[in-house]
Structures are given as structure tokens and as C-alpha cells.
């Protein structure tokens, strides 16, 4: 069915399961929300082929020295910024590799910037400021597909010969555009009519987690299911790094800790140093020759 009015969007429609939520007991409200949330992972699962296509595009782009941009407004924008900001400490990648851009700028992360999503030209300014180049990937995120800011970003990216994707939570976006991949997660009616920070937000978080994590796995940032490229920036991550080294090399905590120190806090190099009885510089060289894939070395 063509989307002619915002009221035609499923995310703006009335959910019959929560129509009387204001008269429910606290427990029943919670159960109603939970019952709707439970549906989301299965719905996301129906789009794995599209998510796979986007992951492959991102992996190829990064291998070619390009970058990934998440562009959104409101909740969608905040989730993009969140996912991008977690990449450096989790996988020790450069800060610019994943960039989250939100309509209204950093102030919009904490406060609602009225009308920011409706100003398309600002998306072009923001992408220019971040030096978008040919071959980069721009992932527009909009639950309703009704944010001109997001559509403008995708259209500008197309003109720059960047790869593009559009993540929405309806069958079709309110504002259509051309993109390489359309990921339409049909989350349906919200518990509170139109409140896409709920089911649509949950779906968006799941999809972004899947994209970025799978990209990192395919680039050798994970060995088995260990984050062997984590960035040791605090006591928690140092402790995790030591435990990862211990588990993979079957060494003692003391040996793992000393190896991590000698390896300049590189978990991968510490593992290679123990497994191959080599120096830090030799471990770095072995890692370089294996394109960063630990399994190719050990």
C-alpha cells in the first residue's frame, strides 16, 4: 500500500494490544511492553539477508581504506552515535572509522533539537565537514523514513559515489530515495502510539550491533568469541585482556599480565609472544603478515 500520509506508517498506527494501557496495573503495563518487545528479534531475523549485504559492503569499504557513517535524527541518531563510539575501545579501531552523525549536532544527544530532522541541507553540511569521500559508506537511520535530514544525507552520498543504506522500521519509507541496501524492519505499532524510541529503537540497536560486530569479526578483530583487539584503557579492560590471554594460551595470570605489559597492552601480540615464544617486535611482524588475523598465526 502506498505511503501517502504519516498516519499510513505502521509505526504511527494504534496498537490494539495496548489501547487501554493507562488503566492497567503496573505489572500488566510491564507485561504488555515486554510482550511487544519479545517480537522484535524474530522480526529482525527476517532481514538477515539485507543486513548481510550491508555488512559485505562495509567490510570491502574498510579494506579499501574507507569509512562508515551512521546518519540519523532523534533516537535513531543517538543509537548511531552510540554504536560508532563503542568501536574504538571494543575493537581498537581509529576513532574516524565509524562516525555517528546526528541532526542538530552533539547538543541533540542530550536535548531535543526541534525541527532538526526536517532540515535536509544540514546533512550535506555535516557530511562535508566530515570529508565524505567516494567509496565511504553512509547508513541512514530513520524509523519512519520521514526525516529529510537522513534522506538528504543518502542522496548527497549517492552523488559523492559513496555506498548507501537506509534502515527503517516500516515496510516502505515515507520519503523514498535510491540506496544500495534498504533494510526495512517492520516493527509494527508501538505500545505508545508513535513512540519509536521503543520497539523501533530496540530493533535499530539490534541491527546496528549486528552490522558493526559482524564487520569487526570479518576483519579479524575477534578470535573464537574473544575481543582480542580490545583497547586497554581502564582496569576493567586490562583485567578482561589478561583473562583472554590466560584462556587462549592456558598460561597463569602472572604470565598473562607480564606478557600484556611487554606487548604494550596488545592482547593479540601478548598471545603470540606466549604461543610462539617470541619478542614483541616479532609478534607484531607475524600479526602484520597475517593481516591481523590471530588464528592465522597461532
- Catalytic residue positions? 86, 117
Determine how β-strand 68-72 pairs with β-strand 98-102: parallel
Is residue 138 helix, strand or coil?
Answer: strand
Handedness of CA 79, 85, 91, 96 (dihedral sign): positive
Phi, psi at 77, each rounded to 5°? -65, -40
Residue 200 near residue 187 (C-beta atoms within 8 A): yes
- Nearest Cα neighbor of 263 from 274, 254, 253, 247 is 274
- Nearest Cα neighbor of 169 from 207, 116, 119 is 207
- Nearest Cα neighbor of 123 from 95, 96, 147, 107 is 147
Residue 150 near residue 117 (C-beta atoms within 8 A): yes
Query: Angle of helix 26-37 relative to helix 199-218, nearest 10 degrees?
Result: 40
Q: Distance between CA 163 and CA 134 in Å, rounded?
A: 8
- Provide the grid cell at 62: 574498510
DSSP secondary-structure letter at 298? -
Determine how β-strand 137-141 pairs with β-strand 163-168: parallel
How long a stretch of residues is the chain? 298
Amino acid at each position: 500500500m502506498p505511503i501517502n500520509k504519516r498516519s499510513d506508517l505502521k509505526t504511527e498506527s494504534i496498537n490494539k494490544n495496548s489501547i487501554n494501557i493507562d488503566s492497567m496495573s503496573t505489572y500488566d503495563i510491564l507485561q504488555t511492553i515486554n510482550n511487544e518487545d519479545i517480537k522484535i528479534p524474530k522480526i529482525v531475523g527476517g532481514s538477515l539477508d539485507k543486513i548481510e549485504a550491508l555488512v559485505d559492503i562495509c567490510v570491502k569499504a574498510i579494506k579499501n581504506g574507507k569509512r562508515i557513517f551512521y546518519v540519523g535524527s532523534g533516537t535513531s541518531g543517538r543509537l548511531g552515535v552510540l554504536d560508532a563510539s563503542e568501536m574504538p575501545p571494543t575493537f581498537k579501531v581509529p576513532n574516524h572509522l565509524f562516525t555517528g552523525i546526528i541532526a542538530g549536532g552533539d547538543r541533540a544527544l542530550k536535548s531535543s533539537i526541534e525541527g532538526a530532522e526536517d532540515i535536509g541541507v544540514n546533512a550535506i553540511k555535516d557530511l562535508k565537514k566530515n570529508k565524505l569521500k567516494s567509496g565511504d559508506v553512509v547508513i541512514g537511520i530513520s524509523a519512519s523514513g520521514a526525516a529529510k535530514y537522513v534522506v538528504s544525507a543518502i542522496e548527497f552520498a549517492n552523488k559523492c559515489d559513496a555506498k548507501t543504506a537506509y534502515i527503517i522500521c516500516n515496510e516502505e519509507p515515507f520519503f523514498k530515495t535510491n540506496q544500495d541496501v534498504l533494510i526495512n524492519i517492520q516493527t509494527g505499532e508501538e505500545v505508545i502510539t508513535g513512540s519509536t524510541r521503543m520497539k523501533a529503537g530496540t530493533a535499530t540497536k539490534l541491527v546496528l550491533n549486528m552490522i558493526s560486530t559482524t564487520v569487526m569479526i570479518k576483519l579479524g578483530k575477534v578470535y573464537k568469541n574473544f575481543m582480542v583487539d580490545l583497547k586497554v584503557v581502564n582496569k576493567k579492560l586490562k583485567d578482561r585482556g589478561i583473562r583472554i590471554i590466560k584462556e587462549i594460551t592456558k598460561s597463569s595470570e602472572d604470565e598473562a599480565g607480564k606478557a600484556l605489559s611487554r606487548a604494550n597492552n596488545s592482547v593479540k601480540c601478548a598471545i603470540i609472544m606466549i604461543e610462539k615464544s617470541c619478542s614483541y617486535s616479532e609478534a607484531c611482524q607475524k600479526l602484520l603478515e597475517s593481516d591481523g588475523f590471530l588464528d592465522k598465526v597461532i
